Structure formats: C-alpha cells, structure tokens
Amino acid sequence: MELTIFLKGILIGFAMAVPVGPMGIMCIRKTLTEGRLRGLIIGLGAGTADLLYCSVAAFGLTIISNTLFNQRLWIRLIGGALLFFLGIRTFRAQPADPNIPVNSSGILRSYLTTVFLTLTNPLTIFSFLAVFAALGLGNGLSYFSAAALVVGVFFGSCSWFLLISSGAILFKKKLDLTGLRWVNKIAGILIIISGVIAIVSLL
C-alpha cells in the first residue's frame, strides 16, 4: 500500500510543480546562465518547500496550517515584494562568460532563497489537501503512509525541475553573451510580473 501511496505522491508533486511560475523561470534562467547545477539547486529548494507544506497537510498539523492561513496576507505581501526586487536584480544582472567555469559559491544562498520564496504561498497547503481528498488520501493515513506520500511529492516536484533544467541545457550551448543577457532581461520581467500579481491579488 505504501508503494502505491508513494507513486501517487510522485504524481502529485510533479503535477503541482508543472505550472511554470517564478521558481520555474528562475530554474531555467539559472541553468542557462550559470549551469545545470544552479538550476537543480532551484528545483531542490522548491521541492523542499513543497515537502514542508505537504508534510503539514499529510500529517494533519492544523495549528500550523491555520496560523499560516491567518497570516497569509503578510506572507504573500513579503513574498511578492521579494519577487519584485529579485526580478529587478535579475533584469539588471550581467551574464557570466559561458566559457568561464561557474564559481560554486552561493549555492546554499540560492537554495535557501528558493525555499523561502516558495514558502511565501501558504495556500499551497490547501491545494495539497484538495488533491489528497480527490485521490482518497484525505483521512486515515498512518504515519508511515503519510511519510511515503510526502517523500513521493518531494521526488515528483524535483523530477519536474530536473526535466526543465535538462531541457534548458540543450539550448545553453547555442547562446552567446548577448543571448544570455536577453535571458536575464526576459526572466527578470517575468519574475517582476509574478511579484506584482502576488501583491495585487491581495487587494
């Protein structure tokens, strides 16, 4: 039974990650401008945040979910503002020469930033709850089954980011510095728009 729940978790995690939001844009942009490892770090950060929110939903931690829901306005406001400034920073960033090896420093910062930004959408918990209910996973899960579900969601989410980073790497060799500069500008604009939408949705 746990194997079936684990596989359902992979499906849920993959499906929840598929809509290309700001984290997907960041993953593609990091892969194109800084290499596959940076793109995968973004995916790992997003997967970790999904794991945390999925854990709250799967283990029935209602105190945490209710607190996050009650504070959702401030959480999303902070997240939207951070996305806005991240978008400006991305738009203004100068790409590194693709022929120069990328420095591995800053990986932990990229990971933690992604986790934090993904966590600024507390409504994700209720999306997981709705999907769990639709698939008959809403109630009666043992701790072991809930753990299998959570791990499955994590792997599913990370699998999507692995897929899009692998796809992006195919185009990396075709981009010169001018192309990479345009990648930064387009990604920056899209992230800014995501931040503005997050803030406007609160009005």
Centroid of chain to Cα 185: 20
Q: What is the CA radius of gyration of the chain?
A: 18
181-196 pLDDT per residue, tens: 788 888 888 888 888 8
The answer, yes or no, to whether residue 5 has pLDDT greater than 80, is yes
Backbone angles phi, psi at 42, to 5 degrees: -60, -45
24-67 pLDDT per residue, tens: 888 888 888 888 888 899 999 999 998 988 888 887 766 676 67
Judged by DSSP in three states, 193 sits in helix
Centroid of chain to Cα 25: 9
Continuous H helices in 71-136: 72-92, 107-119, 124-134
CA terminus-to-terminus distance, the chain: 44
Question: In Å, how far are 20, 53, 96 from 123, measured between CA atoms?
Answer: 17, 9, 36
pTM > 0.95: no
